[in-house]
Structure formats: C-alpha cells, structure tokens
Structure 1
Amino acid sequence: MKSLWVFHVNTGACNGCDIEILDVLTPYYDIERLGVKLVPTPRHAHALLVTGPLTRQAYHAAKMAYEAMPPKPRIVIAVGTCACSGGIFHDSYALRREYRESLEYPLKGGTSEFLPVHLYIPGCPRGQRKSSTALRSSKTSWRKKSGKGGSVRAPSFSRGRASTRG
C-alpha cells in the first residue's frame, strides 16, 4: 500500500482548520494524487488528524477513534494552534485536563496531553501549502515507520499547485 489514509477528528475547533483541510482535498491542491486519502472510519486509517483544543466532550470520541485505528503504524497529526497548544482557548473551562505533579503541567489543552502526537502543523488557520507539505512529510514518516521502504520526494510548488515534478 502506497497511500496514507487519514481520519479527521474535530475536538472542538472553530472550523477554520477544517475548511483549510477541505481546501487541500479540492482539485486545486489535490492531495489525493500525492497519496493522502481521507477515510470515513478510523478502522481504515493510518493517521489521525486532530483539529481544535481537546474539550471534555470530545475527549472520549478522540480516544475511541485512536484506539479503533490499526495498531501499527499509528500517526497522530495535530493541525492548528488549538490542537498544538490549546490556542486562544488554553484557559477555557471546557478543556480536558489531568492534574499531574510535574514541571511540564499544564500543557493547556493541546492534543499531546492525551495522545502521542507525531506531527504538529501550527497556525490559525494554517495555509493549504503548509498543510499539503506537512501531510506529504507525514506520508514519508509513515512509510519509514511501517517499513514500506522506498523514497518519497517532497512536493515543490508552482503557482499554488503541489507538484512532484522536478
């Protein structure tokens, strides 16, 4: 298998990052031709794409989606400032928190507080070029992690379209 299948979970976002993800799937950027496909169920996914701060209501859904994924490889991608660090909602009462006695607490609502994040894509909202490049690099790391081998060239951009041609 040469494609990276991605399942998207919105854990309380304002939908800015969700719209940017949909833009990457449109024919203008066409991330599917680069081998990244959005799937409707986590059982078929290799990567979990998380947007938004991790709210108390969405925590169990995100955890169940992560556990439903195949065991190897599991890649978690945090998209947007809210998923990376909690963003503007970092001190909200609605965020899921665990009180730990360590110097790193609190992480303030970031996805990495509860899921092992492999790739961070910060920005509010981050652009389509950054998203498509990061998803392409996550495909490369997936191939290395799963032992599929092969070399994958990073996409180059010309006039707003992603291209793998030299």
Structure 2
Amino acid sequence: MIAWIIAFFGELFIISEEWKFYKKKKETRAYEKENKLPKKRMISPLTQAFVVVPIVVVAVSFLFYSFVKPVQQAHETKDTLRTATYLLQQAKAQNGVYPENIIELSRKNPIYGDLTIDGWKQAIIYKKTENGNAYTLISKGKDGILNTDDDISMSSKD
C-alpha cells in the first residue's frame, strides 16, 4: 500500500514537471517566432532521465569492473590460499608430510570449494620441497604470468 502511494506521488511529480516543461517550451517557441530567432534545443525532463540514467549505469559498471572487481579477485585469491594453507597444515598434522598435490585437499573437503583455482580463474601452483617439510602456493595474479609483481604467494616454514 505504501509503495502504491509513493508511486502515485512520483507519477504526479513527473506529470507536473512535464507540464511545466511543455508550458515553458510553448512560451519559448512563441518568443522565438516573434523575434525571428532560431529554435533552441529543449529536452524534456523525462527524456533527460532516460538519457542520464543509462549513462550513470554504464559509468558505475565501468568503475566496478575497473576498480572493485580486481580488488575482489585479489581478496578471493588470498582467501583461497589461506584455506589451502590451513588444510595443508591439518594434512601434515595427520600424516606427518604435506600431500603431493592440493587436489587431494579439495576431494577430502568439498565444503571449501576448488582450491586449485584463484580469483582470476587460473591454476594455483603448489610446490613442495624435496624433503616434503615445506611448500609454496603461488597465484600468477591478474596478468597470468609467473614471477611478476602481481603474483600472490604463501609459504610454510621448514
């Protein structure tokens, strides 16, 4: 009921603004004709709304995908690496050594999701030391190239 009342008053506002616009446009056209002036471009408030709103939506979408999405992907990757680190520590506590690959962790704990993929949908690299007492997890980052500044890694201590 409240939504209907708000919608009703919103419609009244739009109608009143359009009425004011057309009244002003009629006066302007009469003045232009009387003084032999060229017609001035006039855009109604409703048309302005239909032009401005899509532009704002596109701008906000661009900002989201340019700034917010990469940050979100980096956080998602760090969370995945932290989860994998936690599960690797648990596996070592149970078995005395780290597993051969992190796919085993995903199979044993499906609740945690796919621990082999980072926020950019690229494979996470799992390197275990020769003696099996340490490991390194590496995400190639946004550019997908190993050994660049945007790589994200986590390591265990021997």
TM-score interval, normalised by the smaller of the two chains: under 0.3
More contact order relative to length (CA 8 Å, sep ≥ 6): 1
The structure that is strand-richer by fraction is 1
Larger radius of gyration: 2
TM-score scaled by length of structure 2:
0.22
